[in-house]
Structure 1
Protein backbone atom coordinates (compact mmCIF):
# COMPACT_ATOMS: atom_id res chain seq x y z
CA UNK A 1 0.00 0.00 0.00
CA UNK A 2 1.14 3.52 -0.67
CA UNK A 3 1.59 6.26 1.89
CA UNK A 4 -1.41 8.22 0.66
CA UNK A 5 -4.37 8.52 2.93
CA UNK A 6 -7.60 10.39 3.19
CA UNK A 7 -8.88 11.24 6.65
CA UNK A 8 -12.54 10.66 7.42
CA UNK A 9 -14.56 12.03 10.30
CA UNK A 10 -12.18 12.12 13.28
CA UNK A 11 -14.66 10.23 15.44
CA UNK A 12 -14.71 7.33 12.99
CA UNK A 13 -10.94 6.78 13.18
CA UNK A 14 -10.74 5.59 9.58
CA UNK A 15 -8.05 5.96 6.93
CA UNK A 16 -8.31 5.30 3.22
CA UNK A 17 -5.13 3.73 1.84
CA UNK A 18 -4.37 4.12 -1.86
CA UNK A 19 -2.14 1.54 -3.52
CA UNK A 20 0.24 2.05 -6.44
CA UNK A 21 -2.60 1.28 -8.89
CA UNK A 22 -4.90 3.94 -7.43
CA UNK A 23 -7.16 1.40 -5.70
CA UNK A 24 -8.64 2.72 -2.44
CA UNK A 25 -9.41 0.62 0.62
CA UNK A 26 -10.93 1.88 3.87
CA UNK A 27 -9.23 0.87 7.13
CA UNK A 28 -10.10 1.31 10.80
CA UNK A 29 -7.38 2.32 13.26
CA UNK A 30 -6.81 -0.56 15.69
CA UNK A 31 -4.42 1.44 17.87
CA UNK A 32 -1.39 3.70 17.82
CA UNK A 33 1.73 3.66 19.96
CA UNK A 34 5.11 5.36 20.30
CA UNK A 35 8.51 3.67 20.43
CA UNK A 36 11.29 5.35 22.37
CA UNK A 37 13.80 2.86 20.90
CA UNK A 38 13.03 3.87 17.31
CA UNK A 39 11.84 7.42 18.10
CA UNK A 40 8.74 6.92 15.94
CA UNK A 41 4.99 6.61 16.25
CA UNK A 42 3.15 3.63 14.79
CA UNK A 43 -0.40 2.90 13.68
CA UNK A 44 -1.99 -0.51 13.17
CA UNK A 45 -4.94 -0.76 10.79
CA UNK A 46 -7.48 -3.40 9.81
CA UNK A 47 -9.99 -3.42 6.91
CA UNK A 48 -13.19 -1.51 7.69
CA UNK A 49 -16.35 -3.59 7.87
CA UNK A 50 -14.59 -6.63 9.30
CA UNK A 51 -16.91 -8.68 11.49
CA UNK A 52 -15.78 -9.43 15.04
CA UNK A 53 -13.93 -12.73 15.16
CA UNK A 54 -12.93 -12.67 11.48
CA UNK A 55 -9.29 -13.26 10.60
CA UNK A 56 -7.86 -10.01 9.25
CA UNK A 57 -4.66 -8.80 7.64
CA UNK A 58 -3.42 -6.04 9.94
CA UNK A 59 -1.40 -3.29 8.27
CA UNK A 60 1.30 -1.47 10.25
CA UNK A 61 2.99 1.84 9.43
CA UNK A 62 5.13 4.40 11.16
CA UNK A 63 3.63 7.87 10.95
CA UNK A 64 4.27 11.53 11.41
CA UNK A 65 1.15 13.03 12.86
CA UNK A 66 -0.31 16.48 12.78
CA UNK A 67 -0.05 18.79 15.81
CA UNK A 68 -2.88 16.87 17.51
CA UNK A 69 -1.08 13.51 17.18
CA UNK A 70 -3.73 12.13 14.81
CA UNK A 71 -2.33 9.57 12.30
CA UNK A 72 -5.34 10.14 10.02
CA UNK A 73 -4.06 13.67 9.39
CA UNK A 74 -0.38 12.85 8.89
CA UNK A 75 1.84 10.80 6.58
CA UNK A 76 2.27 7.02 6.77
CA UNK A 77 5.61 5.31 6.09
CA UNK A 78 6.40 1.63 5.51
CA UNK A 79 8.26 -0.29 8.20
CA UNK A 80 11.48 -1.45 6.59
CA UNK A 81 13.76 -3.00 9.19
CA UNK A 82 13.39 -6.47 10.67
CA UNK A 83 14.07 -5.08 14.17
CA UNK A 84 11.19 -2.63 13.77
CA UNK A 85 8.87 -5.40 12.54
CA UNK A 86 9.83 -7.59 15.50
CA UNK A 87 9.02 -4.75 17.90
CA UNK A 88 5.66 -4.00 16.19
CA UNK A 89 4.71 -7.71 16.24
CA UNK A 90 5.57 -7.91 19.93
CA UNK A 91 3.37 -4.88 20.71
CA UNK A 92 0.53 -6.32 18.59
CA UNK A 93 0.77 -9.73 20.27
CA UNK A 94 0.66 -8.06 23.70
CA UNK A 95 -2.38 -6.01 22.61
CA UNK A 96 -4.18 -9.11 21.31
CA UNK A 97 -3.36 -11.12 24.44
CA UNK A 98 -4.66 -8.29 26.66
CA UNK A 99 -7.80 -8.04 24.50
CA UNK A 100 -8.40 -11.81 24.83
CA UNK A 101 -8.03 -11.55 28.63
CA UNK A 102 -10.56 -8.69 28.76
CA UNK A 103 -13.16 -10.87 27.00
CA UNK A 104 -12.92 -13.71 29.58
Structure 2
Protein backbone atom coordinates (compact mmCIF):
# COMPACT_ATOMS: atom_id res chain seq x y z
CA UNK A 1 0.00 0.00 0.00
CA UNK A 2 1.29 3.45 -0.90
CA UNK A 3 1.28 6.47 1.41
CA UNK A 4 -1.58 8.08 -0.50
CA UNK A 5 -3.83 5.04 -0.11
CA UNK A 6 -5.99 3.64 2.67
CA UNK A 7 -7.80 0.38 3.17
CA UNK A 8 -11.38 0.60 4.34
CA UNK A 9 -13.78 -2.16 5.33
CA UNK A 10 -17.15 -1.98 3.57
CA UNK A 11 -20.56 -2.93 4.95
CA UNK A 12 -20.02 -6.58 4.00
CA UNK A 13 -16.65 -6.82 5.75
CA UNK A 14 -14.58 -6.66 2.55
CA UNK A 15 -11.32 -4.71 2.54
CA UNK A 16 -11.28 -2.06 -0.19
CA UNK A 17 -8.11 -0.24 -1.28
CA UNK A 18 -8.76 3.47 -1.88
CA UNK A 19 -6.80 6.41 -3.22
CA UNK A 20 -6.73 9.38 -0.86
CA UNK A 21 -7.89 12.33 -2.95
CA UNK A 22 -7.17 14.92 -0.27
CA UNK A 23 -7.51 15.71 3.42
CA UNK A 24 -8.51 18.93 5.12
CA UNK A 25 -9.20 20.32 8.56
CA UNK A 26 -12.30 22.26 9.48
CA UNK A 27 -13.44 23.51 12.87
CA UNK A 28 -17.04 24.35 11.91
CA UNK A 29 -18.25 21.13 13.59
CA UNK A 30 -15.45 20.92 16.14
CA UNK A 31 -11.79 20.57 15.24
CA UNK A 32 -11.95 17.68 12.78
CA UNK A 33 -9.78 16.19 10.07
CA UNK A 34 -11.59 14.89 7.00
CA UNK A 35 -10.43 12.59 4.22
CA UNK A 36 -11.94 12.29 0.75
CA UNK A 37 -11.13 8.98 -0.93
CA UNK A 38 -11.98 6.96 -4.02
CA UNK A 39 -12.15 3.14 -4.15
CA UNK A 40 -9.58 1.98 -6.72
CA UNK A 41 -11.19 0.54 -9.84
CA UNK A 42 -14.77 1.34 -8.82
CA UNK A 43 -16.94 3.60 -10.97
CA UNK A 44 -20.59 4.60 -11.01
CA UNK A 45 -23.12 3.74 -13.75
CA UNK A 46 -21.76 6.61 -15.87
CA UNK A 47 -18.17 5.39 -15.63
CA UNK A 48 -17.17 8.20 -13.26
CA UNK A 49 -14.98 7.66 -10.20
CA UNK A 50 -16.80 7.14 -6.92
CA UNK A 51 -15.87 9.44 -4.05
CA UNK A 52 -16.60 9.15 -0.35
CA UNK A 53 -15.49 11.01 2.75
CA UNK A 54 -15.01 10.32 6.44
CA UNK A 55 -13.81 11.90 9.65
CA UNK A 56 -10.26 10.88 10.61
CA UNK A 57 -9.64 9.95 14.23
CA UNK A 58 -5.89 9.84 14.57
CA UNK A 59 -4.27 7.03 16.57
CA UNK A 60 -2.70 7.74 19.91
CA UNK A 61 0.59 5.92 19.34
CA UNK A 62 3.16 6.48 16.61
CA UNK A 63 2.41 3.10 15.04
CA UNK A 64 -1.39 3.52 15.13
CA UNK A 65 -2.82 4.90 11.91
CA UNK A 66 -6.12 5.90 13.43
CA UNK A 67 -9.62 5.14 12.26
CA UNK A 68 -12.40 6.60 10.13
CA UNK A 69 -15.83 7.64 11.33
CA UNK A 70 -18.84 8.18 9.07
CA UNK A 71 -20.17 11.69 8.56
CA UNK A 72 -23.72 11.49 9.88
CA UNK A 73 -24.71 15.16 10.10
CA UNK A 74 -26.37 16.50 6.94
CA UNK A 75 -24.92 20.00 7.41
CA UNK A 76 -21.46 18.49 7.86
CA UNK A 77 -21.91 16.51 4.61
CA UNK A 78 -22.87 19.71 2.80
CA UNK A 79 -19.72 21.42 4.08
CA UNK A 80 -17.55 18.49 2.90
CA UNK A 81 -19.25 18.52 -0.52
CA UNK A 82 -18.65 22.27 -0.81
CA UNK A 83 -14.95 21.92 0.06
CA UNK A 84 -14.63 18.97 -2.35
CA UNK A 85 -16.35 20.94 -5.12
CA UNK A 86 -13.88 23.80 -4.64
CA UNK A 87 -11.01 21.29 -4.71
CA UNK A 88 -12.25 19.83 -8.01
CA UNK A 89 -12.59 23.31 -9.52
CA UNK A 90 -8.99 24.10 -8.52
CA UNK A 91 -7.81 20.81 -10.03
CA UNK A 92 -9.63 21.50 -13.29
CA UNK A 93 -8.19 25.02 -13.40
CA UNK A 94 -4.65 23.68 -13.05
CA UNK A 95 -5.16 21.26 -15.96
CA UNK A 96 -6.10 24.06 -18.38
Map 1:1-104 onto structure 2 (within 5 A). Answer: 8-9=1-2, 11=3, 13-38=4-29, 39-49=31-41, 55-66=48-59, 73-104=65-96
TM-score, normalised via structure 2 length? 0.81
The structure whose residues are more often helix, as a share, is 1
Aligned residues: 90
- Show structure 1 runs of 5+ residues with no match: 1-7
Instruction: Report if aligned partners of 2:60, 2:66 keep a CA contact under 8 Å in 1.
Output: no
- Show structure 2 runs of 5+ residues with no match: none
TM-score, normalised via structure 1 length? 0.75
What RMSD over aligned residues (CA atoms) do the two structures have, in Å? 2.3
